[in-house]
Amino acid sequence: MTTAAIYLTTGLAVFIIGVVGLFWNRNLVRRALSLNFMATGVFLFLVALGRRDPMPFADPVPHALVLTGIVVAVSTTALLLVLICRFYETAETEGESSVNASAERTSVVQNHGENGASETDGGEVTT
Amino acid sequence: MNGALLIDVLLAAGLVVLAGASLRARDLFTGVVTFMIFGLLMSLAWVRLAAPDLALAEAAIGSGITGALFLGAMRRLEESAPEVIAPAPERPPGANGRFALALGGIPLALYFAATALVPALLDGPSGLAEPVAAVLKESGAENPVTAIILNLRGYDTMLELVVLLLAWSGVCVLQGELGRTNIVPATGELAVLGAFVRFLRFPGVIVAGYLVWVGGAAPGGAFQAGAMLGGVGAVGLMAGGAIRPLYAGPGVRPVLVAGAGIFMIIGLLLSITAGAFLAYRGAQAKTLILIIEILSTLSIGLVLTLLFAACTFPPSPERPGEPVEGAP
C-alpha cells in the first residue's frame, strides 16, 4: 500500500461521511459542516491522484486546483451560513398568520419528523 | 510496514474518526471544534502528500477562517434561534438516516467501478509536473504552484477572486453591507483584548507581506497571506471592532475589487500589446505577478474579514443595510 493509496481511500471515506452527514442531519448548520467535509474529501482525493508515482517533486497542477477550491469553499460556506442565519431569523419573526409554516420549518432542525414537505424545504435552503 | 507509512495510516485513521465524530457530535460546538482539529490534521496530511502550499492554506483558511465562520454564525444563532444550537436529542436512524447511508454507497460503488475499469487510476503515471517544470523559467515564479495560479492558469484565479466578490455581494443582498452600528464596541475585558489585537496587526501584516514575497520561490502566496490578513481582521472584529479602518474606511470598495480589477486591467492591456489575455512571460512576468499578488492579498483579506463579520453580526435593527460610511 502506497501513500497515495492510503490518502485516496481516506478522501473517499471523508467524502462519504460528508454525504451521509448531509442527509442524516436536519440541522442546517450541521449540513453546512457536512458540505465542508465533502469538499475536503474531494480535495484529498484529487491531490492523492497527483501523487501516485513518487517523484522528488509532486504534480503541482492538482495543488493549484485545490488551493482555488479551498478559497471557493470558504466563500460559499460564508454565504451559506449567512443564508442559514437569515433563514432562522426570518422564520422566527414571521407573523401570526404563517405560524404553521414557521413551526414546520423549525421542525426541520428540532424533530425527527418523516415529513416529506419539510425535507424538501430544508433541502432547498442548503443548495 | 515502514515508519512513514505507519504515520500515513495513523493520520488517515485520525482524519476518518474526527470527520465521523464531528458530524455525530450531539453538541454543535463540539462538532465545529472537532472540524477545526480535523483541519489541522489535514494540513499534516498535505505535508505528507508533498503539498506545503495546501498545508498553509488548510491551516489558515480550511481550519482557521472556516471554523471562525461557523463559531461566528453559532454566536449569532444563539441569540435569535437557540434551539438550533441546542444539543441534538439521541435518535434512531429512521428513514432519513437509511436513505443517507444508501446514498453514501454511491460514491463507494463509483470508486470501485472506476478502479476496476481503469486500473491506471491507481498506479498510472501522474501528471503534469514535467510540462510545468519546462515552462517554469518563463513564468516569473520559481514555485510551480504560484506559477500555475498566477500565470499558467491565471484566468482561473481571476475568476476565483470574482467568486469571492460574488459571495460578498450575495451577503450584501441578504443583509446589507456591514454598517458601523452592527459592531458591538469594546468595553471592560474586551478593551484589553482590543489593545492586544491593535498590537497584533503589526506582526500579522509583516507575516502576510512575507508570505506574498516568499510565494514566488517557496510555499506561500496571495491566498495564504490574504487569509492571514482575514484572520487579523476577524480577531479585530471579535474584540469589538478594534481595527476599524479594515472594514469601515472610505476605501473599502476599491480595495475589495482591487485583486480582480488589476487582473482584468493587466489581462486586457496584454491582449492589446501581446495579443493574448494575461500572456505575460519572462522578465515582465515577475513584476506583474507581484503587483497582482499584493493587490489580491488585500482584496482577499478584506473579503474574508467582511464575510466573517456578516456571519457573526446580524444586520442592525434600527438601520438595516446601512451602507459603509463614505462608500459611493
C-alpha cell at B183: 459592531
Is the Cβ pair B35, A75 closer than 8 Å? no
**pLDDT tens digits for range A31-89:** 999 999 999 999 999 998 888 776 666 788 888 999 999 999 999 999 999 999 988 88
- Average the pLDDT over B103-114 and give the result: 86
Whole-number Cα distances in Å, A96 to A91, A93, A105, B299 = 11, 9, 14, 44
The complex's ipTM works out to: 0.87
A25 touches chain B (CB under 8 A): yes
Separation of alpha carbons B232 and B239, rounded Å: 11
Q: pLDDT class for B105, splitting at 50, 70, 90?
A: confident
Q: Quick one: pLDDT at residue A118? A: 41
Q: How far is A68 from chain B (nearest CA, A)?
A: 7
Q: Quick one: pLDDT at residue B325? A: 45
Q: Quick one: pLDDT at residue A104? A: 45
Q: Which residues of B279-297 are buried (b: 16+ CB within 10 A; e: fewer)?
A: ebeeeebbebbbebbbbbb
Q: Quick one: pLDDT at residue A99? A: 41
Q: How far is A54 from chain B (nearest CA, A)?
A: 9
Nearest CB neighbour to B170, from listed A17, A57, A79: A79
Q: Are B308 and B74 in contact (CB under 8 A)?
A: no
Separation of alpha carbons B50 and B8, rounded Å: 13
Which residue of chain A has the CA closest to B17?
A14
Residues B201, B230, B53, B3, CA torsion sign:
positive
Q: pLDDT class for A116, splitting at 50, 70, 90?
A: very low
Nearest CB neighbour to B49, from listed A57, A58, A79: A58
Separation of alpha carbons B115 and B129, rounded Å: 23
Which residue of chain A has the CA closest to B163?
A72
B31: pLDDT strictly greater than 90: yes
Location of C-alpha cell 507581484: B290
Which residue of chain B has the CA closest to A16?
B104
Whole-number Cα distances in Å, B220 to A95, B6, B46, B110, B216 = 51, 28, 14, 35, 8
C-alpha cell at A126: 442548503
Q: Quote the pTM value.
A: 0.84
Q: Quick one: pLDDT at residue B179? A: 54
* Candidates B126, B135, B174, partner chain A, best to mutate (most A CBs within 10 A): B126
Is the Cβ pair B49, A78 closer than 8 Å? no
Is the Cβ pair A3, B48 closer than 8 Å? yes
Separation of alpha carbons B183 and A17, rounded Å: 37
Is the Cβ pair A3, B167 closer than 8 Å? no
B12 compared with B78, residue with greater pLDDT: B12
Q: pLDDT class for B183, splitting at 50, 70, 90?
A: low
Which residue of chain A has the CA closest to B312?
A82
B263 compared with B131, residue with greater pLDDT: B263
Is the Cβ pair A47, B66 closer than 8 Å? no
Q: A 70-89 residues with CB below 8 A of B? A: 70-79, 81-86, 88-89
Kindly report the three-state secondary structure assignment for every residue of chain B. Answer: CCHHHHHHHHHHHHHHHHHHHHHHCCCHHHHHHHHHHHHHHHHHHHHHCCCHHHHHHHHHHHHHHHHHHHHHHHHHHHHHCHHHHCCCCCCCCHHHHHHHHHHHHHHHHHHHHHHHHCCHHHHCCCCCHHHHHHHHHHHCCCCHHHHHHHHHCHHHHHHHHHHHHHHHHHHHHHHCCCCHHHCCCCCCHHHHHHHHHHHHHHHHHHHHHHHHHHCCCCCCCHHHHHHHHHHHHHHHHHCCCCCCHHHHCCCHHHHHHHHHHHHHHHHHHHHHHCCCCCCCCCHHHHHHHHHHHHHHHHHHHHHHHHHHHHHHCCCCCCCCCCCCCCCC
Separation of alpha carbons A86 and B315, rounded Å: 10
Whole-number Cα distances in Å, B249 to A40, A110, A120, B302 = 35, 41, 42, 11
Q: Quick one: pLDDT at residue B76? A: 87
Chain A positions in Cβ-Cβ contact with residue B88 (cut-off 8 Å): 25, 27
